[in-house]
Structure 1
Amino acid sequence: MSETPEAESVAQPRTAAGVLFFDVDDRVLLVKPTYKPGWEIPGGYLHPGETPTEGAAREVKEELDITPPVGRLLVADWAPHATEGDKLLFVFDGGVLPAETREQITVDGVEISEYAYYPAEQLDGLLIPRLARRVHAAVEGRRGGATTYLEHGLSHLSS
C-alpha cells in the first residue's frame, strides 16, 4: 500500500449505525425524533473510537433504555449527502424483541418522543426515501440471510 500524498484529499465519512427491531407480528420498530420531522430507526452517529455495533448499542440504550443484543450486519450504505458530506451507514439486526424487553422500553423524551411498530408496507410513508430504501434492503436481507452493500440506498449493481 502506498502512502497518501498530503495534498490528496481522502473521504472522511460521518459514520452511523442503527438497529432493526421487530415485534412478534414482524413489524419494524421506529422512533420519532424530537429534533426533526418524521420517523427513524433506533441508532445514531458513532463517537470517536467506537465500533458500529458499540455505537448502535449505546444509541439504543440512550433512546429506548433497553440493552438487547445487536445482531448481524444487514446493510452497509455509502450515502453522501449534499449538505452533510460523506456518510457510511450500518443497519444491524436486533431480531424480535421479547415481550419483557418491549415492556421495558422507555423513550428518553429528549431525542425521542415516541416509538411505534409498523409493517414494512407502511415504511415509505413514514421514512425519508433514502432511509426507507435502506430499511427495505435490511428487511429483505434479514429474510434472506444476506448482508447488502448499498450506495445511496440502492444496490451498487443496479443499472
Structure 2
Amino acid sequence: MNDAQPHEAVARPRTAAGLLLLDEEDRVLLVEPTYKPGRDLPGGYLHAGESPSDAAAREVREELGIGPPIGRLLVADWAPHPAEGDKLLFVFDGGILPAGERDRVVADGTEIGGYAFHPADRLDALLAPRLARRVRAALLARERSTTLYLEHGVPRP
C-alpha cells in the first residue's frame, strides 16, 4: 500500500476481543448477552485506541465483575459478517478460573443476563456455527500452546 491510496481502500474492521475461561473440568464459560440471542464468550468491541488484550480485560471486568489474568493470544479470526461488515476477532487465554474466583462472578444484568460453564462437546449445540468453530480453535490452540489464524473460524495453513 502506498500513502497515495484513498482511505476508502483501507479495511477498517470492527474489532472485538474475548476471553476463553475454563473451570477445573475444562468446561467453557459462556455468557448470555441481553442484547442478542444465543451465547458468547465474555468480551466485546474495542474502544478507540484500546488494545485487544486491554479490551478483553475491560469487558470481563464490566460484564462479570472479575479480573482474571489475560494470557496469550489463542486465535485471530477474520470473520466478516453479512450485516455488520468486516470483523477481526481475537480470543485470549483466560486460563482456569479457580473456584474462589468463580464465586465472585456476577453478570452485570445490563449486557449479560447470565453465564454458565459448558462442556466443549456441547459447543455446536450452544453457539452459532462461526463462533463454535472459533471457540473450538481456541481450545485447540490452548492445548497445543500455539496461536492460530482463522478465517470464518477455520484455521489457515
**TM-score, scaled relative to structure 2:** 0.96
CA RMSD of aligned residues (A): 1.2
Quick one: which amino acid aligns to residue 138 of structure 1? A
Q: Which string of whole-angstrom CA distances, capped at 9 and with x for unpartnered residues, describes residues 61-98 of structure 1?
A: 01100011110000000011111010000000000011
Query: What is the percentage of aligned positions where both structures have the same residue?
Result: 63
Residue 73 (structure 1) aligns with: 73
1:155 matches 2:150: no
Unaligned runs of 5+ residues in structure 2 are none
Pick which of 53-62 and 4-13 moved more.
Answer: 4-13
Residue 34 (structure 2) aligns with: 34
Shift of 1:10: 1.2
1:137 matches 2:137: yes
Residue 100 (structure 2) aligns with: 100
Instruction: Indicate how the Cα distance of structure 1 residues 7 and 23 shifts in structure 2: closer, same or farther if over 3 A, else same.
Output: closer
Write the distance in 2 (CA, Å) between the matches of 1:84 and 1:60. 23
1:50 matches 2:69: no
Write the distance in 2 (CA, Å) between the matches of 1:69 and 1:24. 16
Pick which of 6-15 and 18-27 moved more.
Answer: 6-15
Shift of 1:2: 2.8
Residue 91 (structure 1) aligns with: 91
Q: Which string of whole-angstrom CA distances, capped at 9 and with x for unpartnered residues, describes residues 12-55 of structure 1?
A: 00000000000000100000011111100000000000000000
1:64 matches 2:64: yes
Write the distance in 2 (CA, Å) between the matches of 1:11 and 1:81. 14
Runs of 4+ in 1 over 3 A off after TM superposition: none
Count of aligned residue pairs for this structure pair: 157
Residue 122 (structure 1) aligns with: 122
**TM-score, scaled relative to structure 1:** 0.95
Residue 3 (structure 2) aligns with: 3
Shift of 1:8: 5.5
Shift of 1:7: 6.8
